[in-house]
Amino acid sequence: MAIAIANVDKATVEDVRRMINTLVKGHNNNLSVKAEANQWLTSFKESRRVWDVGVHVLESATEEGEGYQIANILLAKVRAEWHQLPVNLQVELSARLCHCLMGYASEELSSKVVVQRVCLALAAMAARTPHESVGPSGHPLSTPLYLENTFGLAQSATMSERHNEQALAVALSLLSAAAEESDQLDGSCKAPVLAAMRERIVDVLRMLEVILSSSNQNQTIEEACGEGGGDRQAAQDFLSADGGGGEVGGGGVGLAGGGCKKGDRLIVPSLHLLHSWLKLDYTGEGRPIISCGEFCKSYPALWRFLLQSLGSENRQAFEVVVEILVDLLTEDVGDKYLFTRETDHWAPTMAIQGVLAQRGRLIDCVEDDDGFRYGFNDLATGFAKVVAAAIDRCVGPVISSDEMIALQEMMLDCGQFGDLAVAEIVSELFLSFYNNELMSRIEQSIQVQLYERLMDVILEKAKYPEDLVSWSEAIDLGDFKRFRDEFAADCLSGACFCILESRYLDMVADALKMSTSWQDAEICFFAIECVVEPVKKGGRLENPFFKQLFSQIVEDEETDLFLSHPILVAGVARLIGTYAMWFVNHPSCLEGALMYLLRALQVPQAWRATAKAFNNICRYCESMLQTPEVSERLIHCLQLVLPPLPTNDEEAAKNDMHLEMEDRAQIFGGLAGIVASLSQADAPKVALRLVGPMIENAQRLAGAVSDCDNPNPPGLSEHHAIALATEIRMLAVIVRILGGMSEDTENEAAAAAAAAAVALTTATADSDGASSGSDPDTSEPMDGESRCSASASASTSSSSSDSSADARENIHACVSVMELAWPMLEVVSKAPVWRANPLVAEALADVYTQSMQMGKKAAIPMLPTVIPLLVGIFDDYFHPPCLRSIQSAIKLCTLCNDRDAELFKRALHVVSCSLFGFLQVGFSSM
């Protein structure tokens, strides 16, 4: 492929300029014109004209936008197609681009962004050129030659005082571009590029030491990079753009001329260059090429400059210095330390001392934020990051205890006056401080003082702001909650409580007494909730603090402070649930805690926390609640305060927060656990008291639809279906937990239900008229009256000495619940509108599954009725949960008689056919 660069299509050049200017200048924000220009440039990028036209436009560009855009186009073209060009054309293109760059190097006011893009284009050319390539006009610009010429440019930069800094800045940009471009390469091309760069990293570090170190102002770059024959002609070729020919020189880079003075314009580019070259993975092993100890000892002036730059007023310089220090301090070179372990502590120790030297500047920034060009948060974040990296480097044996104390005080200043991002770093840092061996050298009284202040700082940051009046005002709740849940909680429990112990509880008690707002009270409860684990492990649950705390909560009737805001209510509820085990030994506070939770259920935003707390209290304090009178009273109180389920859009719009299904499951699950712990005589009666209202409401909801035979009736609200499904799912939750009764109770219930199995089977056979070979789809489930009558007659016959009512009390509570729910479930299971609804169908399958799994032998009588229902629903609507329920029924087949076994065979046949048809439809549509 040949491209005549000399003969440029001037019309195309003007078109490119016009289209770029249309995009850059906006063309009066005419979107259609800009879209047309963008489309034209996209087509131009794919053409071969980019090489000649693009370079020509770049050479003659007079505006920054024009130069930047065309340089970007050339860079993309080089990365995509450079390897396809012949060597002679590569030489010619790189020479012209070098000439263009030298034009920028000679201009004091050149655009930095254009220079950077041109440097990247040249670096991309070099990185994609094989080192051994040779053409008729000389060597193309490979990476070794690129680096040699760049050092030659740095040498020549000192020949003219006028162009000193500008040309040197271009050289720095070229070296940074080499590092950046190496990350764009894959493995096969990357290795030789990194190998060439590795050979020159010492030259780069020494050159930067000269540029950045004020102590080496009179040292030349030649002295810094070492003696040896740099190829002056190659550097001259690079400057004059005579084709870039010449041999790659060896050794260091020669430089004749005066010293290099440090200029402010060079600081940030030099730091960026240092960072980019240090972080490259030269070995391919994921390890840095130099350890922090080696860097500190081999380049002391450069290391000194980095530490001094922690006080820089140049924001960019400060940020890059922090990144360099953190990378050096955190990177591990494995077993390849060049110095002893003690020597390797020099760098992190000096880094900490460098941070401590800036404490005065930090305080000044607090007093006068305008004193720095950047704010306190940036400064504090940088200091904290460096300290965190240094502490993780094991500086304990080196840093003194006084320095450690001063360091912690400085970090507390950062946390106190900084934002949440700073507080996150500081909280993690103090966890590292606590685990550092040097802490043992600090007097206990001083440790207490430091961690008392830390606790104050953390709690102040974790406290809701005074102007917060809703969930979404004043602060970013996502960041705020992340800080509380992840950082503040860990720091309080993993550091503060471990140092302060009982003093921690005393501080919370004092703060709670002085609380005048819900925010003050809430943060106290948060502080206690965070330390539940160390409190339990340390055996401090019997501390008088907890008796005082919970008594204060349950006796607060005058001010109602603890019910004054939803966030506070949720916090108190979480605390009660977290410390539910405490109430086991303090029954006098249990009733008050339950009454608080019942009142909290009237606060919608606190429902989730309250539901979980209620469940915990019921589980831990089950032994104090397992009497029929207490449990029925608790059920009655709960039913009075439990918010109703919305059944239409209007009801849902009244409150955008509702007690969701999982929250109700927590509440009813806790109550069901108490019922399950009652005697076999009391459990069924209390269980019916628990499920009665939900069964009535479900019956009402199921019959409230006018057109039940229509699977998609008009006007049916989604909330209506959700409400019905929720009530049925609560039945499943209760049945599952009631099934946790003892094995003896289950066996007695199964024996009592044995006779019922015969009666139910007969009644089902009479009602559906089915023989062993009939189609299960024609089977009709037994109605609720027949179901209950059969169970009652079976229970009567199973006990000759007891009355019918007494005998029924011995039936498993699960069976009692299902008997009461059967008429409602029958209505729902038969109505097409509910059979078609996936939420309701899943709820039905769930309650049947739980009944069969928990009732086991006692559930056998319902199988002839339930299986045809489930099979029919699945056959009609393919609801997957029905399969799980059918699977549970199949597991009971070994306990069934021959007639029931035949029923299973028919059910499996229908399900198999339905699944096969479903899969056929699915595959045919693929």
Provide the β-strand partners of residue 135. Answer: 138
**Whether residues 411 and 494 fall in one domain:** no
Helix axes 376-391, 420-435, angle to 10 degrees: 20
User: Which span out of 130-139, 190-199, 706-715, 858-867 was modeled with the highest average pLDDT?
Assistant: 190-199
The answer to whether residue 379 sits within a structural domain is yes
The answer to whether residue 133 sits within a structural domain is no
Q: Give the per-residue pLDDT at 844.
A: 92
**Whether residues 516 and 436 fall in one domain:** no
Rg (C-alpha) for the chain, rounded Å, is 40
Backbone dihedral angles phi then psi of residue 331, each to the nearest 5 degrees: -70, 140
| H-state helical runs in 309-400 | 315-330, 346-356, 359-367, 376-391
Q: Give the per-residue pLDDT at 692.
A: 94
Q: Do residues 300 and 203 make contact, with C-beta atoms less than 8 angstroms apart?
A: no
**Whether residues 568 and 624 fall in one domain:** yes
Q: Give the per-residue pLDDT at 157.
A: 75
**Whether residues 300 and 413 fall in one domain:** yes
Taking CA atoms, 732 is separated from 688, 723, 817, 821, in Å, by 14, 15, 10, 11
Higher pLDDT, residue 142 or 767: 142
Instruction: Round the average pLDDT of the chain to a whole number and report it.
Output: 78
Q: Do residues 491 and 458 make contact, with C-beta atoms less than 8 angstroms apart?
A: yes
Count of structural domains, the chain: 3
**Whether residues 369 and 496 fall in one domain:** no
Q: Do residues 438 and 404 make contact, with C-beta atoms less than 8 angstroms apart?
A: yes
Residue recorded with tokens 């764009």: 184
Comparing 11-15, 222-226, 425-429, 640-644, the range with the smallest average pLDDT is 222-226
Instruction: Based on DSSP, count helices (H) and strands (E) in the chain, helices before strands.
Output: 47, 0
136 has pLDDT over 50: yes
**Whether residues 587 and 674 fall in one domain:** yes
Q: Do residues 327 and 274 make contact, with C-beta atoms less than 8 angstroms apart?
A: no
Give residue-wise pLDDT tens across range 654-669. Answer: 655 556 788 899 999 9
Q: What percent of the chain has pLDDT over 90?
A: 33
Give the confidence band of 368 by pLDDT, cuts at 50, 70, 90: low
The answer to whether residue 906 sits within a structural domain is yes
Q: Do residues 222 and 244 make contact, with C-beta atoms less than 8 angstroms apart?
A: no
Helix axes 838-855, 813-830, angle to 10 degrees: 150
Compute the distance between CA of residue 790 and CA of residue 798 in angstroms, rounded to an integer. Answer: 12
456 has pLDDT over 60: yes
Positive or negative, the CA dihedral 136, 142, 145, 149 is positive
Comparing 155-169, 249-263, 874-888, the range with the smallest average pLDDT is 249-263
372 has pLDDT over 50: no
Compute the distance between CA of residue 437 and CA of residue 433 in angstroms, rounded to an integer. Answer: 8
The amino acid at residue 842 is E
Higher pLDDT, residue 32 or 233: 32
Average pLDDT over residues 806-827: 73
The answer to whether residue 45 sits within a structural domain is no
The answer to whether residue 421 sits within a structural domain is yes
740 has pLDDT over 80: no
**Whether residues 434 and 549 fall in one domain:** no
Positive or negative, the CA dihedral 426, 431, 435, 440 is positive
446 CB neighbour count, 10 Å cutoff: 13
**Whether residues 356 and 491 fall in one domain:** no
Average pLDDT over residues 677-688: 89
Q: Give the per-residue pLDDT at 616.
A: 95
222 has pLDDT over 90: no
Residue recorded with tokens 């599952």: 736
Of 663, 692, 721, the one marking the end of a domain is: 692
**Whether residues 416 and 487 fall in one domain:** no
Higher pLDDT, residue 684 or 656: 684
Q: Give the per-residue pLDDT at 610.
A: 94
Give the confidence band of 761 by pLDDT, cuts at 50, 70, 90: very low
CA angle 638, 562, 552 (to 5 degrees): 95
| H-state helical runs in 183-314 | 187-198, 201-212, 221-225, 232-240, 264-278, 292-298, 300-308
Taking CA atoms, 561 is separated from 175, 480, 515, 769, in Å, by 65, 23, 9, 67
The answer to whether residue 711 sits within a structural domain is no
Q: Give the per-residue pLDDT at 223.
A: 47
Average pLDDT over residues 296-302: 88
The amino acid at residue 697 is N
Q: Give the per-residue pLDDT at 322.
A: 95
DSSP 370: G
**Whether residues 302 and 425 fall in one domain:** yes
Give residue-wise pLDDT tens across range 479-510. Answer: 888 999 999 999 999 999 999 999 999 999 99
Provide the β-strand partners of residue 138. Answer: 135
777 has pLDDT over 60: no
Give the confidence band of 445 by pLDDT, cuts at 50, 70, 90: very high
520 has pLDDT over 80: yes
Residue recorded with tokens 């469940």: 615
For residue 302, the enclosing domain spans: 290-442
The CATH number that applies at residue 521 is: 1.25.10
The answer to whether residue 793 sits within a structural domain is no
Q: Do residues 291 and 338 make contact, with C-beta atoms less than 8 angstroms apart?
A: yes
Residue recorded with tokens 């028919």: 906
Give the confidence band of 13 by pLDDT, cuts at 50, 70, 90: confident
Compute the distance between CA of residue 634 and CA of residue 48 in angstroms, rounded to an integer. Answer: 83
Average pLDDT over residues 280-305: 82
Average pLDDT over residues 409-436: 91
Predicted TM-score of the model (pTM): 0.74
The answer to whether residue 349 sits within a structural domain is yes
Give residue-wise pLDDT tens across range 77-123. Answer: 999 999 888 888 888 889 889 888 887 766 655 678 888 999 999 99
**Whether residues 300 and 435 fall in one domain:** yes
Taking CA atoms, 399 is separated from 332, 576, 605, 872, in Å, by 21, 44, 50, 77
**Whether residues 437 and 585 fall in one domain:** no
**How would you label 715-741 residue by residue, b for 16+ Cβ within 10 Å and e otherwise?**
ebeebbbbbbbbbbbbbbbbbbbbbeb
